[in-house]
Amino acid sequence: MKKLAALLVLLTFIAIAVTAQTTIKGSVMDTTSKKPVQNVVLALLRQKDSVLYKFVRSDEAGNFTMNNIKTGDYVLMITHPLYAEYVDNIEVKNAELTLGNISITPKSKLLEEVIVKSGTPIKIKGDTITYTADSFKVKEGANVEALLKKLPGIQVDKNGKITAMGEEVKKVLVDGEEFFGDDPGVAVKNLRADAVKEVQVFDKKSDQAAFTGIDDGEKNKTINLKLKEDRKKGYFGKAELSGGLKDNYNNSAMLNAFKGKRKFATYGIMSNTGQTNLDWDDAQNYGGGMDGLEMGMSDDGGMYMSYNGGDGDDNYWGGRNGIPKNWNAGVHYSNKFDAKKQSLNMGYKFSKVNAPAGTTTYSKTFLPDTSWNTNSISNSFSSKIKHAFNLTYEISLDSMNSLKITGKFGANNTQSSSDYYSEAVDANVSSKFINNSTRKSNNKSDNNSIAGTVLWKHKFKKIFRTISINTDFSRYESDNSGFLYSLNNFFTSGNIYKRDTVDQKNIRNNIGLTSNTRIAYTEPLIKDMYLELNYTISASRNSNDRTSLKKGLGDYTQVIDSLSNHFDFNKLVNKPGVNLRYNKKKYTFSIGSTFAFNHFIQNNVTKNQNYNYDFSTFFPSASFSYKLKGNKNVRLYYNGSGTAPTAEQLQPIKDNTDPLNVVIGNPDLKQSFQHSFGASYNFYDMLKEKNLWSNLNISTTQHSFAQYSYIDTLGRRNSQTVNVNGAYYVNLYMQYGFKLKKPNLRLGFSPRFNGSRNIDFVNGIKNVTNNQNYGFSVNVNKEVDKKYSISLGPQFSYTHATATVNSSANANFWLLGGYGDVDITLPWKLEFSTDANFEIRQKDPRFDKNTNYTKWNASLEKNILKDVFVAKVQVFDILDQNRGYNRNFTSYNFTESFYNTLRRYWMLTLTWNFSKNGKPAEM
């Protein structure tokens, strides 16, 4: 009987697997008349062998339906005697596939040369915007970063940060998969643009949301680079050797060996010109600790985090501060096998960065009844070694079940030292000291982390009925030790009133453990309406052990009780939730909510004190997306999210790493709660080559984290994090682009607005800081194939900031900046390129330093030895004006900082572009 039952179960699974089929729906529209097209033949071909699988015709309304389609990869071909042929690759899964409106172009329009030879330049399908790479010309041998700069709606700033439709890009994928982990810099800086077929921009959902089709609010702006088929065969890559007259070097190599679904890649970089290829997370890690952070706005309207604690080092972010030497290397392997039922993606990265840095800062501090100036000089050095490993394994157990396992491991070792001097003087009498401080420090830290996830997904026989279980865990451990010597003098009436010396050893050990499990079940209610029930349980434990020692009998042996403490912060959260999604052909709507039942435990181990508190939180969410005629899309969303305080913010002891800025923990902090609202409207007119990308984002925070500061007459600051209400942030971004056909010019106009309201407390007085930044930029591009290309991008911004603590802290200034790029093809296979970036700021009467600059670069290159090699001579910063500079303000403080940077230098570069079996490496 048992054998018979087992046989029946086996036959049932086989039957389900064999009959796993779906339905494809959509409609066909005329691109010019915007009317439906009937009697269009829609053919479905098997992608693996191009054999015709099924075909249908569109009805009078242009609609079509294909039933009983087996899961797999297909080619959709649309043909009609009066229209241009349409071809697209699609993947059919075990769910209804809605293709929406498909636009086809009358053949008569082909005679008007309005169709780009390589295909439609831009397509909008749902929330995904797809650019055809060959429709945007870059010079031969250019990397993907150069291609992204050409795409409407995408910006790459001078530090390599990518934004798309006004939002920062968090991930860059290659053929839908992570490439060297989730570091966006490796792909865009090292892959060649001519290897890319399409660039897709979308909001990447969580794996669970992508499976269920119901939004869970987790999204990251993502770029996916789809490679050309001929670049998935054989190998290709480049090797670059560069040297300068001042011992500058920038050497790199990358090899890609692709075969079908198998990808192998490796790269190496050795440079002392600041070419680190670091992503945002890596760049932050070179800056040290994160205590003493304040929110503010920079002069270009962007929000930033200001670091007021620590040992006097300025954060090393993206090579802005100093001239680093770095050694980077990585290996990537990914493959799909067993008829695509299994996939493996893994990679390893190594980096070593030695970063000397120097910073000079001029600061103004405004209090309710007084103000003073602070000048500081910092010279530091850090050396960091990092190892990172990532692994993703997916397996389709059968037609109904799949499993995904991910793992990440990181190990970092950092050694740093710093010399720092600061002086505060009376704002009215420049020779009248308030205080001065000399600090020397050196630190060593070891940080290790490991994280993993397991996701199981199951589809029932009934379509859209699913269940999934996602479990993730992480552990990090940080061991830090360092020495601090500080001599501080305090003055009254120009004479030394008090002097104190700090000579101590600091030890900080942190351990964090987190586990999280989420179960989601989806059920179709009626046609096009789906329900999701979910439940999440998460637990975390954070242990923070700080010990400060002073000298005793010649060594650091005596514990400083007021600066030492062992503190644990544990959380247990239960979150049941429900989501409802309504999915129609033209629009989708979802609404949901999650209830969190929180149990927090604060354990002051040193003092044997426990604080337990329970509270509930409601997390609502909603989104609405509507597809208009043509390539037009409207989207609205709301999301509520909470942030718990960190163990460092809660730990009730002083951190005197900077004796002039002492930070005290606050065990009474509450969780903050953020309400986020957003709206977007996007369209692209294929025939007229017009586009509009627009985004509006508004967020307001209840119980937001703010600083409560007390500054005495000697200039010493004690601060503590507290909860406040009334903080908000607004961001508006638009980009309108169009093409003038006769002069062959592409124009783009981008207005933007950033606004914020922040609250803090200064000497018991509530200080409200309002910041507004208005900006406008223009982009002009003209290209003549094989002759020249020109890109210009002037921009203007105006900043208005007010602080209630003291009207002298207000700021109003404008910033004029921009860039220009010119590439010219000369005889004898010579290519001349030049680019420039400039910034002109309105001077502030409180500062007398010149902050304007123009950074102008130029190069001349020639293809040699059958176009396989490229020889190039480059000169950077021709005018010798490059400077590291930043102007910012935080409530009652206005600061200008100048950083050591690499000035004018020459480089000679030889590049070898190679490939085999794929497209030849033509230059």
CA 865 to chain centre: 40
Give the pLDDT score at 158.
64
Sheet holding 162-164, edge to edge: 154-156, 162-164, 167-168
Of 341, 250, 139, 41, the C-alpha closest to 825 is 139
Q: What is the mean pLDDT of residues 205-224?
A: 70
User: Coil, strand, or helix at residue 814?
Assistant: strand
Predicted pLDDT at 305:
33
Residue 18 belongs to what H/E stretch? helix 2-18
Q: Bigger pLDDT: 413 or 16?
A: 413
**Range name among 54-63, 723-732, 840-849 with the lowest pLDDT average:** 840-849
pLDDT score for 137: 78
Beta pairing, strands 63-70 & 21-30: antiparallel
Q: What counts of helices (H) and strands (E) characterise the chain?
A: 6, 51
According to DSSP, residue 891 is labeled T
More confident: 251 or 96: 251
Q: What DSSP element (H or E) covers 246?
A: none
Q: Starting from the edge strand earliest in sequence, which strands make up the sheet with 177-178, in order?
A: 122-125, 128-132, 196-205, 219-227, 171-174, 177-178
Residue 11 has pLDDT above 70, yes or no: no
Average pLDDT over residues 353-365: 90
What integer pLDDT is reported at residue 395 of this predicted model?
94
pLDDT of residue 294 exceeding 70, the answer is: no
Q: How confident is the model at residue 835 (pLDDT cuts 50, 70, 90)?
A: very high
pTM for the model stands at 0.76
| Separation of alpha carbons 546 and 873, rounded Å | 53
pLDDT for the residue numbered 209: 66
Element spanning 742, H or E: none
Quick one: average pLDDT of 85-114?
Answer: 72
Specify the pLDDT at position 290.
31
Highest mean pLDDT of the ranges 317-326, 426-435, 684-693 = 426-435
Buried (b) or exposed (e) across 343-374, using 16+ Cβ within 10 A?
Answer: bebbbbbebebbbbbbbbbbbbbbbeeebbbb
What average pLDDT does this structure show over 137-147? 80
The answer to whether 834 touches 825, Cβ cutoff 8 Å, is no
More confident residue, 153 or 683: 683
Average pLDDT over residues 880-893: 82
Q: Is the pLDDT of residue 688 over 90?
A: no
pLDDT, tens digit (0-9, with 9 covering 90-100), for 37-81: 988 898 888 876 667 788 899 998 889 988 888 888 888 888 888
Q: Which residue has the higher pLDDT, 470 or 21?
A: 470
Share of the chain above pLDDT 70, in %: 87
> Which tokens in the block code for residue 65?
């339906």
Higher pLDDT, 348 or 464: 348
Residue 193 above 50 pLDDT?
A: yes
- pLDDT tens string 388-422: 999 999 999 998 999 999 999 999 999 999 999 99
Ramachandran region of residue 197, left (φ > 0), alpha (ψ -120 to 50) or beta? Answer: alpha
Tokens of 44: 């479905």
SS3 at position 726: coil
Pull the structure tokens for residue 309.
């604690």
Report phi then psi at 245, rounded to 5. Answer: -80, -15
Render pLDDT for 906-917 as a digit per residue (tens, 0 to 9): 999 998 888 776
pLDDT band at residue 833 under the 50/70/90 scheme: very high
Residue 152 has pLDDT above 90, yes or no: no
> Which residues, including other chains, have CB under 8 Å from residue 659's CB and lie 6 or more apart?
437, 439, 486, 488, 500, 502, 716
pLDDT tier at 321 (50, 70, 90 boundaries)?
low
Q: If you average pLDDT over residues 658-668, what whole number do you get?
A: 91
| In contact, 97 and 90? CB cutoff 8 Å | yes
The reported pLDDT for the residue numbered 14 is 41
Provide CB contacts within 8 A for 704, sequence distance 6+: 672, 674, 723, 724, 725, 727, 759
Contacts of 531 (CB under 8 A, 6+ apart): 522, 523, 524, 525, 578, 579, 580, 581
pLDDT digits (tens, 9 = 90+) for 204-213: 777 766 676 6
Q: Do the Cβ atoms of 880 and 903 come closer than 8 Å?
A: yes
**Neighbour-count burial for 851-871, b at 16+ CB within 10 Å, e otherwise:** bebebbbebbbebeeeebbbe
More confident residue, 348 or 918: 348
Q: Which residue has the higher pLDDT, 892 or 873?
A: 873
Q: Report the distance separating Cα 281 and Cα 294, nearest Å.
A: 18
Instruction: Name the β-bridge partners of 860.
Output: 832, 873
Decide: 863 and 857 in contact? Cβ < 8 Å. Answer: no
- pLDDT for 179 beyond 90: no
Model pLDDT for residues 596-618, shown as the tens digit of each residue = 999 999 999 998 988 888 989 89
Task: Report the C-alpha gap between 852 and 882 in whole angstroms.
Answer: 10
- Nearest Cα to 213, choosing from 640, 676, 590? 590
Indicate if the pLDDT at residue 438 is higher than 50.
yes
How high is the pLDDT of residue 120? 66
Across 291-307, average pLDDT: 37
First to last CA, the chain: 71
54 vs 21, which has greater pLDDT? 54
| pLDDT score recorded for residue 599 | 93
Q: Token pair of 122, please?
A: 């831009």
